[in-house]
Amino acid sequence: MNAVTLKGLSKTYANGKKAVDSVNISLACGEVFGFLGPNGAGKTTTVKLLNGMLTPTGGSCAVFDVDPAKNPQKTHALSGVVTEHAQMYDTMTGIENLIFYGSLYGLTPSESEQQGKTLLEELELSHAANQKLAAYSTGMRQRLSLARALIHQPQILFLDEPTSGLDPESAQNVHHMIRRLASEHGITIFLCTHQLRYAQEICTRYGLMEEGRLLAEGTLDSLRLLTDSGMTLKIKASRIPETLLCQKTAPDAYEVPIQSEEEIPGIVRSIVNAGGDIYHISATLPSLEDIYFHLTRKEKSA
Amino acid sequence: MNQSMTAIIKKDIKGITSNKRMFITLLIVPLVLTIVVPSVFTLVFHFMPEEDTDLQKMLELLPLSMQNGNSRQTLAELMLNYIMPVFFLLIPIMASSVMAAASFVGEKEKRTLETLLYCPLSLKQIFRSKVMASFLLSMFVSAVSFTAMFVVIEAETYLFTNRFVIPDLKWLLIMLLVSPAISLIAITLIVRISAKAQSVEDAEQSSVFLVLPVILLIVGQFTGVLLISSWLLLGIGVLCGLLAALLLKKCMEHFQYETLLK
C-alpha cells in the first residue's frame, strides 16, 4: 500500500487559475518526500487536496488508499498537518492547546497531556508549556504546531514550510526530528518547502514543481542524471595547462566540468606535468538547487 | 455527542467566559432587562395614584381571573406574567448572538479554522458543537436572568404590597420550551451566517435581523395587539422546536471545506 498516490491530480480554481496540473506521484511508507518549488508552485494546494480541504477538478489522490475527497475524516485521523494557515489559540497555553487538539483526535486528557509533554520536551518547549500562545515567538509557534500535528501519532505528516521563521539552530532541530520520525517511527513525511538546501539534507526523494506542473521526481541521484553536467571539479593550483577547459573563479582557483570521477586522475596528471602545484582539489555533485535551476531553464527554453 | 465535540464546546464556552470584559458585556443587557425594567415598572405601579380612572378602566378590561381587587397586585401580576415573558425570548438570542456570530468566522480570522478542519470531525459535528456551545451559554444566561428577575420582582412586590406574585404556567413553557427552541433556531442560523461571512462584523450585522421577529412580538405585547395564551405559547414552542431540529439537521448539508476556507 502506498502512503500517498497522486494520479493525474489537477486543481483549477473558480477564477480559472490552474494551481495543480496533472501531477503523478506515489510514495512508499516511511519515505521523506521533498515537494519543492517556489511560492505559487502548487505545493500548498496539493497538501489541501491530499487532506480533502479542496476537491480535485481532475484526476485523483489517496492517502493510505483513502480518498480524502470522499472520506476526509479518515484521512485526518491518519495524518498530521503543519501549514502556515493552521494556527492555534492565543488565549490558551501551549499544553492546553495540545490537550485540546489531542481530545479532538480521541485521546483522553491525561493521554494528551502525557504525549504533549513528551513532544514539548523533544521540541525544546517544556519551559513554555504553561505560557499563553500569545507570548510565543514565531519559531516557538512553529514548533508547537509540529507537536500538535504529532499529538495523535499520525502515519503521515504533511509539512508545509515547517522551518519558515525559525532560526538556523531551531530549523536544524526540526530537521533532525523529521529525520528521526521517519527512521525510528516509520512516519511518511510529505515536506513542502522552497528551501532546497535544507530539503537536500533530510529528504529521500524529491518532486520539483513549477507553476502547478511536476518538472521531475525521483531520488537525488536519479535527478542528477537529468542534468547535462555530472560534476564540477574545483581546483586551486598555481598553473593550469591551456588545453584544460576550465573557468577561472578566483586567482589560482578554477572550476572544471566533468562527467565522472574517472576523469580526475588525468586532470591532476596534466596539471602536474605542466609544472603546476596543486593546493586543493574537490569534486562536487550538482546540488538540488543546481538541478532545479537547470530543469526550469530547460523548461523555459523548450 | 462524542468527546471531540464536547472538547470544542468546552473550548468555545471557556473562550467567552475567560474574557471578563466580553462576558460582563454579554450579561449586562439581560440583567438590565430583567432587573432594571421590572424595578422601574414596580416603582411606577407603587407611586401612581390608585384612584386613576384610566388605569381602573384598563384593569377592568382584563379577564375576571386576573382582577383580584388590588390594582397594584394586579399590575404586578400583569407585568410578571404578560410583559416579562417576551423578554425571555429575546435574552437568549441576544446573549448568544456575539458568540454564535464569531463561531466560524472568528476562527477564520484567528487562523485556527483550518487547524480545526484538519481534525477527524465532520463539518456537521463541528457545526453542531459550535451551535451547542452558544446554546448552552444562552440557556445559562437565560437561567441567571430568570433567577435574578424572579428574586427582584418578588422582593419588590412584597415590599410594596406585602404579598408575593404568583408566576403562571406560561413561565414553565417559556423557560423549558419556547425560549430554548427560538434560541436554537436563531443560533443555528447565526452560526450558518458565520460560516459564510468574511468577518465577525459581517456576521454580527446579518444576525441582527433575526432578533426582529421577537422585537415585533414584544411591541405586540406592549400595545395589546397580541395577548399570548398558554395554549398559543405551547403551539409556538412545539413548532419552533420542530423547526430547530430540522434546521440543525439540514443546515450544513451543502457546506464543504472549500466553502468555509474561502
In a domain, A168, yes or no: yes
The position carrying cell 481532475 is: A58
Contact A76 B7 (CB under 8 A): no
Q: Does B17 touch chain A (CB under 8 A)?
A: no
Concatenate the DSSP letters of all residues of B171-186 into one string: HHHIIIIIHHHHHHHH
Q: Is A167 helix (H, G, I), strand (E, B) or coil?
A: coil
Element (DSSP H or E) covering residue A81: strand A79-82
**Cell numbers describing residue A295:** 530543469
The residue type found at B84 is M
Residues A209 and A235 in one domain: no
C-alpha A34/C-alpha A197 separation (Å) is 11
**Which of B104, B127, B248, B228 lies closest to B183 in space, CA to CA?**
B248
> Per the structure, how many domains does chain A have?
2
Contact B257 A53 (CB under 8 A): yes
- Residue A122: give the domain boundaries: 4-224
C-alpha A275/C-alpha A130 separation (Å) is 69
**Residue ranges of chain B with per-residue pLDDT less than 70:** 1, 50-53, 63-69, 214, 217-228
Average pLDDT per block of 10 residues along chain A, 302 residues long: 94 92 94 92 94 94 95 95 92 95 94 94 92 91 93 95 83 86 91 89 92 92 80 88 85 86 90 91 87 83 73
Nearest chain B residue to A53 by CA: give it: B257
The residue type found at B199 is S
CA distance B260 to chain A (A): 9
Of B3, B115, B117, the CB nearest to A103: B3
CA distance A146 to chain B (A): 12
Residues A218 and A236 in one domain: no
Q: What are phi and psi of A160, to 5 degrees?
A: -105, 105
CATH number for the domain spanning A87: value is 3.40.50.300
In a domain, A296, yes or no: no
Write out chain B residues lying below 8 Å of A76, CB-based.
118-121
C-alpha A157/C-alpha A277 separation (Å) is 52
**Cell numbers describing residue B134:** 452558544
Confidence at residue B202, expressed as pLDDT on a 0 to 100 scale: 82
Confidence at residue A297, expressed as pLDDT on a 0 to 100 scale: 82
Q: What are phi and psi of A81, to 5 degrees?
A: -125, 130
Write out chain A residues lying below 8 Å of B16, CB-based.
none
C-alpha B38/C-alpha B33 separation (Å) is 8
Residues A8 and A127 in one domain: yes
Residues A107 and A245 in one domain: no
The residue type found at A30 is G
Confirm whether the ipTM is greater than 0.95. Answer: no
Q: Residue B240: CB partners within 8 Å, gap ≥ 6?
A: B178, B181, B182, B185
**Cell numbers describing residue B208:** 441582527
> Per the structure, how many domains does chain B have?
1
Write out chain A residues lying below 8 Å of B115, CB-based.
86-88, 101, 148
Residues A174 and A270 in one domain: no
CA distance A95 to chain B (A): 14
**Cell numbers describing residue A126:** 517544556
Q: How many CB pairs under 8 A join A and B?
A: 71
**Which of A299, A196, A170, A219 lies closest to A27 in space, CA to CA?**
A219
In a domain, A238, yes or no: yes
Q: Does B147 touch chain A (CB under 8 A)?
A: no
**Which of A34, A40, A279, A39 lies closest to A158 in space, CA to CA?**
A34
Residues A143 and A258 in one domain: no
Residue of A83, A103, A157, A160 to mutate when probing chain B, most B C-beta within 10 A = A103
In a domain, A66, yes or no: yes
Residues A121 and A265 in one domain: no
- Residue B236: give the domain boundaries: 3-261
Q: What are phi and psi of B37, to 5 degrees?
A: -60, -50
Angle between helices B179-196 and B123-161 (to 10 degrees): 140
Of A81, A87, A108, the CB nearest to B112: A87
Q: What are phi and psi of B189, to 5 degrees?
A: -70, -40
Hey, which residues does A205 pair with through a beta bridge? A33
C-alpha A294/C-alpha A252 separation (Å) is 27
Q: Does B259 touch chain A (CB under 8 A)?
A: no
**Cell numbers describing residue A111:** 493521554
Distances (CA, A) of B83 to B78, B93, B165: 7, 18, 14
Confidence at residue B225, expressed as pLDDT on a 0 to 100 scale: 46
Q: Residue A232: CB partners within 8 Å, gap ≥ 6?
A: A255, A256, A257, A258, A283, A284, A286
**Which of B15, B6, B26, B30 lies closest to B152 in space, CA to CA?**
B30
**Which of A208, A206, A253 lies closest to A233 in space, CA to CA?**
A253
Hey, which residues does A256 pair with through a beta bridge? A233
C-alpha A123/C-alpha A144 separation (Å) is 8
The position carrying cell 494528551 is: A112
Element (DSSP H or E) covering residue B187: helix B179-196
Q: Is B229 helix (H, G, I), strand (E, B) or coil?
A: coil
pTM tops 0.95, yes or no? no
Write out chain A residues lying below 8 Å of B3, CB-based.
103, 106, 108
Nearest chain A residue to B5 by CA: give it: A104
Residue of B119, B121, B124, B256 to mutate when probing chain A, most A C-beta within 10 A = B119
In contact, A202 and A157? CB cutoff 8 Å: no
Hey, which residues does A10 pair with through a beta bridge? A58
Burial class (CB in 10 A: 0-12, 13-18, 19+), A270: middle
Q: Does B257 touch chain A (CB under 8 A)?
A: yes
Confidence at residue B66, expressed as pLDDT on a 0 to 100 scale: 65
Residues A215 and A243 in one domain: no
In a domain, A183, yes or no: yes
In a domain, A301, yes or no: no
